[in-house]
Amino acid sequence: MWWLATNYFPLRPFIRFMLILGVLLLSGYMALFPAMFASFTKRIGLWFAPLVWMGVELLHELTDLAFPWGYLGYTMTPWPLFTQTASLWGVYGLGAIIILINLGLYGAISRWRQKKKRIAWLLLTGSVLVFITGFGALRLATAPKTDSLRVALIQPNIPIVMKGLEARRDSLITAMIEQTKDAASYKPDIILFPETATLAYLADYDSKYAKRYFKLADSLNLTLATGMPHMINDGRSYRFANAATVIHPSGYLDEIYIKMRLAPFGETIPFENIFPFLAKIDVQGGHHYRGKKYTVYTTTPEPLSFLICYEAIFPQLTRNFVHRGSKLLCNITNDVWFGPAKGPLQHSEMAVLRTVENGVPMIRAANNGVSMIVDAYGRILAKSKLLVKTTVYGKVPKASGRKTIYNLFGFLLPYLATGFVAIMLLLRKIQRGKRGKRLGKKK
């Protein structure tokens, strides 16, 4: 996670120091999860390790400290053949499978001189591998052919120091509009802008900037899905909200979706809703307004939903959108803060797995990359390079309409694993207590 501390955002020296300290603390916090895995596995038995791993990974996604970055299952993302079982049990199950394979290899090696046990463990490991590859090959080979949407993804590559400058707003918006006009020649069904790309508050219908975007969509007769800055009156003051919406060909502005999962410390101070005094802490980021509604846009060429930036790494959040009718995931982000570091690449790879889990495609527009088109099976059909101004064109096959097991029931699996581990820990504690009493009586 070192790239968090080297980001390109101009910060005050004290805030930069605090950011470096924060990365060290984050590393320690993230280390608690494998520590819990080791401790719980030792207590209830090595052979329960896959279930323990699932339960521990689920904990990453809970509370205001949620940071489900770098799950073990993401290591398979570049190879769709190996990721298809995510349609059964999500990224959590992929991580459990990796643990199970390593457990099988350990069982075989540790019992190498015991021929029957060695063979049994090797057969178990081989069976798991055959199932993963066989299921993946079958699912990919039998993928139904569907109609496609023509899409264009705008990647403006606006430097972070320019994005917030009022003096450059006119020229930046003009550049976005010209890039969009060029993209319109492809005759896309949808054009996707990145996070906060409009640089304007579109809900102010009389604003000259808002009118330019409405006129653009109307004149080109296109559907424009975009991220936008927004303001919300929470009863005490106006607060910034990271938002997204759809501008229809008529120039009509659809409902505004507000980001629900805020990045800890960057967009919110954890638990500030519970402890209001935390809202006074200045981290030179913001105390953004937190969205509360899952919004699915149904009057678009395909029912779609937005995942703003960091939201794309939340499996449960994405599943809830699809369960409510979304058939196209629109991930919009602005990873320019981190330059050419590993962060933007990790971020884009993790987003891919949301398509396999839910059986729906994704289009992703990033200010600086990686922008990409991904089908419902995690296959990247087109993508951009980092730190270039470009437009990604392509066709994205529509979702087949068949729900995945993960979307229907599989999301419950990590909760069941967590419950099982908790029960086992309790039983082991009771057993140790009884054993201790018996030893005490013997003494």
Query: Does 424 fall in a domain?
Result: yes
Q: What is the mean pLDDT of the chain?
A: 92
The domain tally of the chain equals 2
Over residues 218-230, the mean pLDDT reads 96
What is the tens place of the pLDDT at every residue in 333-356?
A: 998 888 888 899 999 999 999 999
Tokens read off for 173: 């918006």
Task: State whether 386 and 278 are in the same domain.
Answer: yes
Task: State whether 347 and 217 are in the same domain.
Answer: yes
What is the tens place of the pLDDT at every residue in 172-201?
A: 999 999 999 999 999 999 999 999 999 999
Q: Which range, 202-211, 358-367, 429-438, is most confident?
A: 358-367
Q: Which domain holds residue 364?
A: 148-400
> Look-up: residue for tokens 């919300």?
232
Task: State whether 317 and 389 are in the same domain.
Answer: yes
Task: State whether 136 and 185 are in the same domain.
Answer: no
Task: State whether 251 and 290 are in the same domain.
Answer: yes
**pLDDT value, residue 276:** 73
Query: Does 407 fall in a domain?
Result: no
Percent of the chain with pLDDT over 90: 73
Over residues 209-232, the mean pLDDT reads 95
Task: State whether 78 and 192 are in the same domain.
Answer: no
What is the tens place of the pLDDT at every residue in 30-62?
A: 999 999 999 999 999 999 999 999 999 999 988
Query: Does 406 fall in a domain?
Result: no
**pLDDT value, residue 426:** 94
**pLDDT value, residue 284:** 58
Indicate if the pLDDT at residue 164 is higher than 80.
Answer: no
What is the tens place of the pLDDT at every residue in 72-115?
A: 999 999 999 999 999 999 999 999 999 999 999 999 999 999 99
Query: Does 390 fall in a domain?
Result: yes
What is the tens place of the pLDDT at every residue in 239-284?
A: 899 999 999 998 899 999 999 998 887 788 777 777 776 767 766 5
Query: Does 405 fall in a domain?
Result: no
Task: State whether 335 and 425 are in the same domain.
Answer: no
Contact of 265 with 22, CB cutoff 8 Å: yes
Indicate if the pLDDT at residue 2 is higher than 90.
Answer: no
Closest of 318, 418, 427, 309 to residue 58, by C-alpha: 418
**pLDDT value, residue 6:** 79
Higher pLDDT, 441 or 189: 189
Task: State whether 138 and 159 are in the same domain.
Answer: no
Task: State whether 328 and 435 are in the same domain.
Answer: no
**pLDDT value, residue 326:** 98
Query: Does 269 fall in a domain?
Result: yes
Task: State whether 127 and 213 are in the same domain.
Answer: no
Tokens read off for 39: 């401790």
**pLDDT value, residue 212:** 95
What is the tens place of the pLDDT at every residue in 285-304?
A: 668 899 999 999 999 999 99
Query: Does 346 fall in a domain?
Result: yes
Contact of 230 with 195, CB cutoff 8 Å: no
Task: State whether 101 and 160 are in the same domain.
Answer: no
Percent of the chain with pLDDT over 70: 98
Q: What is the CATH number of the domain that holds 236?
A: 3.60.110.10
Task: State whether 98 and 72 are in the same domain.
Answer: yes
Over residues 228-236, the mean pLDDT reads 87
